[in-house]
Amino acid sequence: MRLLVTGGAGFIGSNFVRYWCNEHPEDHVVVYDALTYAGERSSLAAVEDRITFVHADICDQDTAEETMAAQGIDTVVHFAAESHNSLAVVDPARFFRTNVLGTQSLLEAARRASVGRFHHVSTCEVYGDLDLDSEEAFTEDSPYRPRTPYNASKAGADHAVRSYWETFGLPVTITNCSNNYGPFQFPEKVIPVFVTRAMEDRPLPLYASTQNRREWLHVEDHCRAIDMVLSNGELGQTYHVGSGTEASIEQIADMVLEALGKPSSLKKIVADRPGHDRRYLLDSSRLRSRLGWAPRISFEKGLAETVRWYAENPQWWEPLLSRAPVQEEAWSAGAAGK
């Protein structure tokens, strides 16, 4: 297989590239990444000599098409996206440009280059949110009800992917995943924020709705799911990738503090982000029953390993702290993004 992995220097993308190089060493992997603030080339250090790196924007259709043709790409795995909800509140235009227009440009490039498979990685957040006391879970047939610019931009990307399947017959698959965690995640997302701040005895910012919950999926389990979909997934089909394990923001803060031996007094309540979703949960029975996937890493084990990874790799994350474009405490001051 000859893969083009967009966003391959980002969190999930770099984990996928390392996973693929280890599991499929005979394949040719091209990483295509614009290296925006959350892209980090050093995340690929372990496999740098086994990949081809192209520094380019997915909105650059000509370069994408030329790369696919020159590299003989037969499979595109599309991770590249703006993904931080807080940033989407203060700069929504960049999310629609990258996530919607960028995805369409990439689809068109793949169509013109006659790529044999286009796999799009999406999110549970396109469906909106669930009541905290609900027993409901989103299925692949749930209606799209995005509540934030980020969610809406990913929903738009999903629709673009489906349109290229229905209109042009581009062979596509989609996975919608729950919240990922693990190593090499940029320190703006909640788990690395909590870990890196706790290590430095700095306050952990908890949104006022401390009981809002997310479903947590280890990035390695996500990579295995995509591998299974690429191998045996039905064209034109969507698959949910979820662990079934939920935890609130406060529970995660407590687990991180306990793992690092830090006091609960480090928890600090900040104002809720506008459009803060209450709860997400995916029904992943299609992926489990049809392709035989199941998560292997429990949240307790995975979180402990993730905390340990950040503790042992400050040389990776410390230089990134100054890149974060949004300070979560700013919601309280009414000065987000400044």
Q: Is residue 294 part of a domain?
A: no
Name the nearest CA neighbour of 184 among 290, 83, 43, 2: 43
Q: Is residue 27 part of a domain?
A: yes
Question: Rounded to two decimals, what is the model's pTM?
Answer: 0.94
Q: Where are the alpha helices (DSSP H) in 24-176?
A: 61-70, 85-90, 92-95, 103-112, 149-168
Q: Domain range holding 110?
A: 2-180+217-241
Give the strand pairing for 204-207 and 267-270.
parallel
Is the distance from CB of 216 to CB of 277 less than 8 angstroms? no
Residue by residue, pLDDT tens for the chain (338 residues) are: 999 999 999 999 999 999 999 999 999 999 999 999 999 999 999 999 999 999 999 999 999 999 999 999 999 999 999 998 889 989 999 999 999 999 999 999 999 999 999 999 999 999 998 888 888 999 999 999 999 999 999 999 999 999 999 999 999 999 999 999 999 999 989 999 999 999 999 999 998 887 888 999 999 999 999 999 999 999 999 999 999 999 999 999 999 999 999 999 999 988 876 767 788 899 999 999 999 999 999 999 999 999 999 999 999 999 999 998 876 655 544 434 43
Q: Is residue 65 part of a domain?
A: yes
CATH assignment of the domain containing 164: 3.40.50.720
Distance CA 25, CA 15 (A): 15
Tokens of 157: 């990307």
Q: Is residue 52 part of a domain?
A: yes
Q: Is residue 96 part of a domain?
A: yes
Q: How many domains does the structure of the chain reveal?
A: 1
